Amino acid sequence: MAVKNLPNVILIILDTCGAKHMSIYGYHRRTTPYLEELAEECVVYTRCFSTSPWTSPSHASMFTGLYPSEHGCKGIDMDLNENLYSLPEVLKSLTYKTCGISSNPLICTSLGFGRGFDEFYGLYNVPYLRLYLNKGNKNKIKRIKYFMDYMVNKRRFQEGVEYIASALRIKEFKSRRDIMAKSATPATIESLFCFEDAMNSYKKTNSPFFIFINFMQTHAKFNPPRKFRNIFVEDNPKIENQHTFEYLFEHLVNKPHSIEYLDYIIGLYNQEILFIDYITACIFKLLKKKNLFDKTLLILTSDHGELLGEHGLVEHSFCLYNENLYVPLIIKYPKEYGLKGVVDSLVQNHDIFATILKVTNAPYPVPKSSMSLLTSDKRQIGISQLIDPRFKIAACLKRKATFLPKDFMLPHISIITDDLWKITKRADGHTEIYDLNNDLYENNNLMSSFRIKEKRVFLQELVSECEISGGYKKTIPKSMDITKEIFNYAP
């Protein structure tokens, strides 16, 4: 394909945004009004499941088309294997200009996710004003104005002074929690500016471009901007003061959260989705304004979802329930494809790898694990893996030395069939089976039901085969012991 005919490619990851809480996927609160409107120009995939319930392995799958047991980015090992060609490297070899924008510290250059990008903006470890002060472009005033408005509206003058002091000293924040524990909103706004800057720059070169964006807005701590608060839930300072990263671990190391607390954070989470829905609309509008919309392949998905009290769990680290795995997949294909509508067949978020290679006619082999969404072949099974949860267990131990790991924290593998039956098997052999046609969020375990004997035998044989053929059994840790190295590594 000639360079001038190559479409632009934009990959948007709404980090931790589960389809369950999006109104475009049937949620009772209208959390995605813009996406519902924009969907008229897109293909909406209604049965998309992630390869993993947490950031690193899921992103690595989308970047390589492989399952976690195949690419090896699975737990303590969080580096993107340098021997694997990744999506940005493939597109760069096709003369694409490439830009990565990440608000998640796990998606960073030091872990290999920056390979193939001409520019990579890691908004997790740079004081926001450092970008405001150093970028010499027309958006500088907008950036500073937003920053000052944010300080005034949130009454965080001390916080603002600290940001400015850090920027002037060129001092980087030490960890995600230094930034994200308060609000992801500044990074989200900065991501939008970086996107516009990159798009304007690449348009002048007449080269096709690939822009990857990871938005952390829907990742805890949930703290939506002022205009998006008090919509689904009224502000509650008492609960707000409790709502910290440390408190999220309390249900694991101590006692369950209260109903009042869970209802409140669900409301905050919904408001965060409402805000990121608005940000997505801004990206669509920018593309149309720059006359780039028709020639662009735009993919919106998530790395995983979030549990908010379901199955007695909060967060997303330790299970393969569909609150974690059922994710949005919405694709705006180039106009020449003429593709719109709804697709109900089984797909996975790493199928975008094969799809992008198909659209760009890239001369690279496509892994069997990734299936192009543009072929007539349909996915027969989807696989999700939780291979090495030890570093999250270590995080619990850091908070309570007497903490005893629970059975549900063991490695898991799940298989979903094209007729929407699901089997999940834990490393200790515990197995659950669900009919997702009638029980999408897995409330009725049919493992012991005499009515599904043939289906149970089939699913058990299938999961046993996938444990071996995909390398899962070889990659799970032989021991769940927490070594000093793992303990020190934990967040």
Give the tokens for residue 57.
Answer: 């392995």
> At CA 466, angle to CA 458 and CA 454, rounded to 5?
5
Single-letter code of the amino acid located at 251:
H
Rounded CA-CA distance 144/30 in Å is: 32
How many residues are given for the chain? 491
How far is it, in rounded angstroms, from Cα 49 to Cα 383? 8
Name the packing angle between helices 259-289 and 185-205 (round to 10°): 20
- The DSSP line for 362-408 is --SPPPTT---TTSS---SEEEEEE---HHHHHHHHHH-TT----GG
Indicate the SS3 state at residue 88: helix
Amino acid at site 3:
V
What local confidence, expressed as pLDDT, does residue 454 receive? 96
Residue-level pLDDT, tens digit, the chain, 491 residues: 556 689 999 999 999 999 999 999 999 999 999 999 999 999 999 999 999 999 999 999 999 999 999 999 987 788 899 999 999 999 999 999 999 999 998 899 988 999 999 999 988 654 443 443 344 444 555 555 555 555 555 444 544 554 444 343 323 333 444 445 568 898 999 999 999 999 999 999 989 999 999 999 999 888 899 999 999 999 998 887 666 666 666 666 666 788 898 999 999 999 999 999 999 999 999 999 999 999 999 999 999 999 998 998 888 888 999 999 999 999 999 999 999 999 999 999 999 999 999 999 999 999 999 999 999 999 999 999 999 988 788 878 877 777 778 888 899 999 999 999 999 999 999 999 999 999 999 999 999 998 999 999 999 999 999 999 888 988 988 888 877 667 666 66
Task: Return the amino acid letter for 149.
Answer: D
Helix (H) or strand (E) segment spanning residue 457: helix 453-469
Residue 480 maps to a domain: no
Residue 211 maps to which CATH number?
3.40.720.10
User: Minimal CA–CA distance to 305: which of 45, 60, 58?
Assistant: 58
Domain that holds residue 250: 3-125+173-378
Do 164 and 129 meet the contact criterion of CB atoms below 8 Å apart?
Answer: yes
Alpha helices in 67-125 (DSSP H): 68-71, 87-93
Would residue 193 count as lying in a domain? yes
Query: Is residue 298 domain-resident?
Result: yes
Burial call 37-58: b when 16+ CB within 10 Å, e when fewer: ebbebbbbbbbbbbbbbbbbbb
Task: Return the number of other C-beta atoms located less than 10 Å from residue 452's C-beta.
Answer: 16
Supply the pLDDT for residue 195: 96
- Tell whether 295 is covered by a domain: yes
User: Residue 339 falls within a domain, yes or no?
Assistant: yes
- pLDDT score at 173: 33
> Within its chain, how far is the Cα of 452 from the centroid?
34
Instruction: Provide the domain count of the chain.
Output: 1
Q: Could you tell me if residue 208 is inside a domain?
A: yes
The pair of three-digit structure tokens given for residue 71, joined into one six-digit string:
């690419």
Structure tokens at 211: 């822009």
State the CB neighbour count (10 A cutoff) for residue 83: 6
Q: What is the pLDDT of residue 80?
A: 94
On whether residue 14 sits in a domain, the answer given is yes
* 296 in a structural domain: yes
Dihedral (Cα; 389, 394, 395, 399), 10-degree rounding: 150
Model pLDDT, residue 172: 36
